[in-house]
Amino acid sequence: MKIITNVLRALALFATILFFNSGFAQTAEEGAQLFNANCTSCHAINEKVVGPALKDAHKRRDEKWLISWIKNSQKMVKAGDPIAVQIYKENNEALMTAFENLNDNQIKSVIAYIKAESEKPAAPATAASTGSSVSNEGASPVEVNANMRGKINWLLIIIAVLLFMVIALVLDILGLVGQIQGKPVINWNSINSKMALLFLIAGMGAVIWEFAAHTKLTVNSYDGASAHSNEYDSMFNITFYLTLVVFIITQILLFWYLFKYKHSKSRKALYFPDNHKLELIWTVIPAIVLTVLVIRGLKTWNDIMYHKDEKAQLIEVYGYQFGWNARYAGADNVLGKHDFREIGKVNALGVDPKDPKALDDVVTNELHLKVDQPVMLKFRAKDVIHSAYLPHFRVQMNVVPGLPTQFAFTPTITTADMRSKLNDPTFDYILLCNKICGGAHYRMKMKVIVHTAGDYEKWMSSQTQYVQNAAPVADTTSTQTQVRVPAKNNKILAIK
Report the amino acid identity of residue 438.
G
β-sheet bridge partners, residue 338? 351
Return the pLDDT at 473. Answer: 34
pLDDT of 466 higher than 60: no
Q: What is the mean pLDDT of residues 230-236?
A: 90
Question: Measured in whole angstroms, how far is the alpha carbon of residue 428 from the centre of its chain?
Answer: 18
Q: Under CATH, what is the fold of the domain 313-461?
A: Immunoglobulin-like (2.60.40)
Angle, nearest 10°, between helix axes 2-22 and 141-181?
160
Report the amino acid identity of residue 131.
G
Q: Distance between CA atoms of 478 and 447, rounded to whole angstroms?
A: 40
The residues spanned by each domain of the chain are 2-145, 188-265+273-305, 313-461
Range with lowest mean pLDDT among 37-46, 183-192, 340-349, 360-369: 340-349
**98 with 71: CB under 8 angstroms?**
yes
Return the pLDDT at 449. Answer: 94
CA distances from 292 to 204, 248, 281, 283, 299 (A): 29, 22, 17, 15, 11
Q: Distance between CA atoms of 461 and 455, rounded to whole angstroms?
A: 10
Q: Distance between CA atoms of 37 and 443, rounded to whole angstroms?
A: 10
The residues, any chain, with a CB within 8 Å of residue 233's CB and separated by 6 or more, are: 220, 223, 224, 394
Strand (E) or helix (H) holding 326: strand 323-328
The CA radius of gyration of the chain, in Å to the nearest whole number, is 31
**Residue whose C-alpha is closest to residue 408's, from 303, 324, 299:** 303
Q: Distance between CA atoms of 129 and 126, rounded to whole angstroms?
A: 5
The pLDDT tens digits of the residues spanning 270-304 come to 777 888 888 999 899 999 999 999 999 999 888 88
The residues, any chain, with a CB within 8 Å of residue 27's CB and separated by 6 or more, are: 33, 146, 149, 150, 153
**460 with 362: CB under 8 angstroms?**
yes
**352 with 338: CB under 8 angstroms?**
yes
**Residue whose C-alpha is closest to residue 396's, from 274, 236, 237:** 236
Q: Distance between CA atoms of 82 and 85, rounded to whole angstroms?
A: 5
Q: What is the mean pLDDT of residues 55-62?
A: 82
Q: Distance between CA atoms of 113 and 33, rounded to whole angstroms?
A: 9
Report the amino acid identity of residue 458.
K
Predicted confidence band of residue 469 (pLDDT cuts 50, 70, 90): very low
pLDDT of 92 higher than 70: no
CA distances from 137 to 15, 123, 141, 143, 147 (A): 32, 12, 10, 11, 13
Predicted confidence band of residue 382 (pLDDT cuts 50, 70, 90): confident
- Is the model's pTM score more than 0.75? no
Return the pLDDT at 369. Answer: 94
Q: Does domain 2-145 have CATH number 3.40.50.300?
A: no
Return the pLDDT at 156. Answer: 85
**389 with 396: CB under 8 angstroms?**
yes
What strand order describes the sheet that includes 395-399? 367-370, 445-451, 429-433, 386-390, 395-399
pLDDT of 160 higher than 80: yes
Q: Distance between CA atoms of 339 and 342, rounded to whole angstroms?
A: 6
**342 with 318: CB under 8 angstroms?**
no
**Residue whose C-alpha is closest to residue 8's, from 192, 167, 244:** 167
Return the pLDDT at 164. Answer: 83
**Residue whose C-alpha is closest to residue 197's, from 246, 254, 247, 244:** 254
Return the pLDDT at 137. Answer: 46
Predicted confidence band of residue 150 (pLDDT cuts 50, 70, 90): low
Burial environment of residue 233 by CB neighbours within 10 A (0 to 12, 13 to 18, 19 or more): middle
Q: Distance between CA atoms of 391 and 397, rounded to whole angstroms?
A: 11
